[in-house]
Chain A
């Protein structure tokens, strides 16, 4: 019976590449799939592209290409990545450059574009599309002049098309997290576009794998201390059957753990309503899925139910949303927390005296309650060895935010005693707001283009 082996290569822009090399080296993986684009990543790539129009893709494609292209040639493994970001053509050029450097002529690299709608917003509005924010109902005009990027989430179909055209490597821009993983299954098994249950299984597979090590023992809330060798964690590998059911495992000899518990924690991660996991390929119901141990580091997943995909695609836009200034300073026992509180007061009074315009003033006491907030009980102060104070402000412009940082160094001489500056802890950065809207899918899909080029 035919099986397809799909592996996870990267779960975000900046993820390590060694686990993907382990999969290529130690398993029979056929497809290595990447999810490089978190909601925010396109804002980073937009800033790159503004500096240099040849950029706008995740710069680690260079490392990825060097590490993995030799396996593409030698073992016929295919790579599917959304590392193209805002510039899939740029990513292709860079991959092709590395392929030539490595002497890998004949490699076929595909791109799929059409997700970027930043230059099409007028046209879409003219066609009657309401681009208001789904969360707040605000009209787009409220942020139109501050937009950094606008991209629709494409599904698996453009990738399937690239595979049909013989691509060894497929590079896309914004896609759903699951598209890279589902596409090879549709291509290999020939699943129909309305085979909702199988497609839903593929979505479950993609969802489980798109955060790489989070399903193989990373970020595990159970007995994480017993999970072996997280320093060389194995990324997930799925052995998929034609009916869509699959065994989730990892490369032999790697660290981490694949158990019902590590899998079910990831299964519901960030999906909101579990009966309605919406993608452009199908809507999956996760409440019918069975997750069972099938051997050491082997978990069987089956039973997802699917429904027709919606007539719209989700689009996310990012816009400039003010600035954040932030600084940090540490205080030692005794009365470390009281000292930190007093220092926060001093900073606030100084900000106000200087007339710094801020919209929000936020204080964290690291070591006490910065991560758990009001639910964390404050320990007896005699037992607190040290506290780091972090103060942050939200401002409209960068200059106002930057004024906060300058108030920290004088605290060493002028504030409470027993203090250590945190080097480089003061910083100013731009905040990015996210805007979510729905667009009739045919208006996006008519502009989707797939092209395959051979490395000469």
Chain B
């Protein structure tokens, strides 16, 4: 088991709808996807963002594109046009989530490194 930052493992894009930030996280392969399903829970995501996500975090699984989608409610200071935030559109939440450190089995990590640039 090793600690890795999500940025070395996933793709992520985020955006807004009202005061909800919508983040999608994409795994490079099925094995990693299954692992992410276990470790990347709504609670973990909510804890990562701390005070910036006031409401609950919902998660959807989208296996056809190896993705997990997180809806973070109460995350944008009132929503784009009512927000005092600089990132009022939530476009930086994806890269923010990539800061998160998760445990990864060595085998998955080795596979990923061998696959390297193909992803």
Chains A and B form a bound pair: yes
Residue numbers of A with Cβ under 8 A of B are 39-40, 43, 135, 219-223, 261, 264-275, 286-291, 318, 321-322, 324, 326, 360, 362, 364, 366, 370-376, 390, 392-394, 431-434, 436
**Taking the nearest CB of chain A, how far is it from the CB of B22, in angstroms?**
5
Q: Which of chain B's residues 48-99 have a Cβ closer than 8 Å to chain A?
A: 48-52, 60, 62-65, 67, 69, 71, 77-82, 84-87, 91-92, 94-96, 98-99
A394 to B77 Cα, complex, angstroms: 11
A residues near B63, Cβ cutoff 8 Å: 287
A275 to B64 Cα, complex, angstroms: 12
A291 to B51 Cα, complex, angstroms: 36
A residues near B50, Cβ cutoff 8 Å: 373-375
| Of B80, B87, B119, the contact of A222 (CB 8 Å cutoff) | B119
Smallest CB gap from B77: residue in A: A362
Q: Which of chain B's residues 1-41 have a Cβ closer than 8 Å to chain A?
A: 11-13, 15-20, 22, 24, 26
| Of B11, B15, B81, the contact of A261 (CB 8 Å cutoff) | B11
A43 to B80 Cα, complex, angstroms: 12
Complex A-B, nearest 8 residue pairs according to Cβ-Cβ distance, in ascending order: A374-B50, A270-B15, A432-B81, A268-B24, A362-B84, A392-B84, A371-B92, A373-B52
| Of A219, A275, A375, A390, the contact of B52 (CB 8 Å cutoff) | A375
Q: Do most interface residues of chain B lie in helix, strand or loop, or is the interface mixed?
A: mixed
Q: Are A222 and B69 in contact (CB under 8 A)?
A: no
| Of A220, A265, A287, A326, the contact of B84 (CB 8 Å cutoff) | A326
A376 to B15 Cα, complex, angstroms: 19
Smallest CB gap from A322: residue in B: B82
Q: Are A287 and B51 in contact (CB under 8 A)?
A: no
Besides A268-B13, A434-B82, 20 more A-B contacts (Cβ < 8 Å) are A221-B11, A221-B13, A222-B11, A261-B26, A261-B119, A265-B13, A265-B24, A270-B16, A270-B17, A271-B22, A289-B64, A326-B84, A360-B84, A371-B87, A372-B95, A375-B96, A375-B99, A432-B82, A433-B82, A436-B18
Q: Are A135 and B86 in contact (CB under 8 A)?
A: no
A74 to B93 Cα, complex, angstroms: 45
A264 to B13 Cα, complex, angstroms: 10
List the count of A-B residue pairs having beta carbons below 8 Å apart.
126
B residues near A269, Cβ cutoff 8 Å: 13, 15, 22, 24
A287-B63, A318-B81, A436-B18 as given contacts; A268 in contact with B69, CB under 8 Å: yes
A356 to B20 Cα, complex, angstroms: 30
**Taking the nearest CB of chain B, how far is it from the CB of A392, in angstroms?**
4
A residues near B48, Cβ cutoff 8 Å: 375
**Taking the nearest CB of chain A, how far is it from the CB of B45, in angstroms?**
11
Q: Are A394 and B84 in contact (CB under 8 A)?
A: yes
Q: Are B51 and A268 in contact (CB under 8 A)?
A: no
Q: Are A290 and B84 in contact (CB under 8 A)?
A: no
**Taking the nearest CB of chain B, how far is it from the CB of A133, in angstroms?**
10
A residues near B80, Cβ cutoff 8 Å: 39-40
Q: Are A364 and B81 in contact (CB under 8 A)?
A: no
A221-B13, A269-B13, A287-B62 as given contacts; A372 in contact with B96, CB under 8 Å: yes
Q: Are B18 and A268 in contact (CB under 8 A)?
A: no
**Taking the nearest CB of chain A, how far is it from the CB of B81, in angstroms?**
4
15 intermolecular pairs with C-beta atoms under 8 Å apart = A40-B81, A135-B19, A219-B13, A264-B26, A264-B65, A268-B67, A269-B13, A269-B24, A270-B15, A274-B60, A360-B84, A394-B84, A431-B81, A434-B81, A434-B82
**Taking the nearest CB of chain A, how far is it from the CB of B95, in angstroms?**
7
Q: Are A373 and B49 in contact (CB under 8 A)?
A: yes
A residues near B91, Cβ cutoff 8 Å: 219
A221 to B15 Cα, complex, angstroms: 13
B residues near A288, Cβ cutoff 8 Å: 64
**Taking the nearest CB of chain B, how far is it from the CB of A420, in angstroms?**
19
Q: Are B51 and A374 in contact (CB under 8 A)?
A: yes
**Taking the nearest CB of chain B, how far is it from the CB of A450, in angstroms?**
29
A362 to B76 Cα, complex, angstroms: 13
**Taking the nearest CB of chain B, how far is it from the CB of A45, in angstroms?**
13
| Of A40, A266, A272, A433, the contact of B13 (CB 8 Å cutoff) | A266
| Of A221, A274, A374, A376, the contact of B62 (CB 8 Å cutoff) | A274
A278 to B51 Cα, complex, angstroms: 31
**Taking the nearest CB of chain A, how far is it from the CB of B117, in angstroms?**
8
**Taking the nearest CB of chain A, how far is it from the CB of B7, in angstroms?**
9
**Taking the nearest CB of chain B, how far is it from the CB of A360, in angstroms?**
6
B residues near A268, Cβ cutoff 8 Å: 13, 24, 62, 65, 67, 69
Smallest CB gap from A436: residue in B: B18
Q: Are A433 and B81 in contact (CB under 8 A)?
A: yes
